[in-house]
């Protein structure tokens, strides 16, 4: 099976129309007609992740995010960059292929990034979750206790919280990556990947700070982009195994980038 044939199978099984004009969901490096020895799924195609995949005998990497430090994987200004040269040389020398699945993965139902994030923070019942966020109800607890649970389960080191840790909460709104939901009147806590603190379409940080000052039970928990979406790439690997049976498939995490 070639990398191109793997992608064709993904397209056939995605359950959503495929947009061939997507600049994200394309081959990024390597020969698409390379015979696939094994597939690694990951959130971010870091050099460390690529090296671990190669050492495990996996020569096709399917990543949710970009490989060359910009959303379009535009490399025209990187040809003299030594890091770009080292990374590309390693991939090509070892007969590896990099392909990205971002836009279409988010159009699937369920959306694996949401399913994985809900599971990672300890919220049950999200196995069929789409990208569109909806409130999840948990047994009443305090914001502080819920935050401790989330931090322990995810292992996030870039963990940030806003709100009164003693506030009683039970209505949780979850979104991965930049899809951090806007705080609503009905929700007690928003859990997201990342979001700017100010000058956005709606500034959750300031809103929750004001709510806390007025004694309202509102909270915001930010996990970091990779931590919020990476568990979904393990679900993606499990999904691939339902229709690709001839090669090993393994989730190879990039890991929390912050310390």
**Domains recognised in the chain with CATH numbers:** 3-101 (3.40.1390.30), 112-227 (3.40.1390.30)
pLDDT of residue 158: 86
Nearest CA-CA partner of 142 in 120, 118, 161: 161
- Neighbouring CB atoms inside 10 A of 252's CB total 25
Average of pLDDT values for 100-108?
96
pLDDT at residue 139 is higher than 90: yes
pLDDT of residue 85: 98
Residue 232 CA to residue 206 CA, distance in Å, equals 29
> Which residues, 6 or more positions from 153, have their beta carbon under 8 angstroms from its beta carbon?
120, 121, 122
pTM equals 0.95
């Amino acid at each position: 099976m070639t990398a191109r044939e793997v992608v064709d199978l993904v397209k056939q099984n995605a359950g959503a129309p495929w947009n061939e004009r997507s600049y994200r969901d394309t081959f990024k490096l390597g020969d698409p007609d390379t015979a696939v020895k094994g597939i690694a799924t990951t959130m971010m195609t870091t050099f460390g992740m690529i090296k671990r995949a190669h050492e495990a005998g996996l020569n096709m990497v399917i990543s949710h995010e970009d490989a060359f430090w910009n959303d379009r994987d535009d490399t025209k200004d990187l040809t003299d960059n030594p890091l770009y040269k080292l990374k590309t040389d390693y991939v090509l020398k070892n007969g590896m292929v990099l392909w990205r699945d971002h836009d279409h993965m988010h159009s699937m139902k369920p959306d694996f990034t949401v399913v994985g994030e809900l599971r990672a923070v300890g919220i049950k019942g999200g196995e069929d979750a789409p990208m569109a966020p909806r409130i999840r109800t948990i047994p009443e607890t305090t914001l502080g206790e819920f935050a401790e649970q989330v931090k322990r389960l995810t292992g996030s080191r870039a963990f940030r919280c806003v709100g009164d840790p003693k506030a009683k909460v039970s209505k949780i709104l979850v979104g991965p990556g930049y899809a951090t939901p806007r705080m609503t009147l009905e929700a007690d806590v928003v859990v997201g990947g990342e979001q700017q603190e100010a000058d956005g379409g709606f500034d959750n940080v300031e809103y929750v700070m004001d709510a806390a000052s007025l004694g309202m039970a509102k909270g915001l928990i930010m996990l970091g982009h990779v931590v919020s979406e990476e568990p979904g790439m393990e679900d993606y690997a499990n999904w691939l195994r339902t229709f690709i049976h001839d090669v090993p498939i393994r989730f190879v995490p990039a890991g929390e980038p912050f310390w």
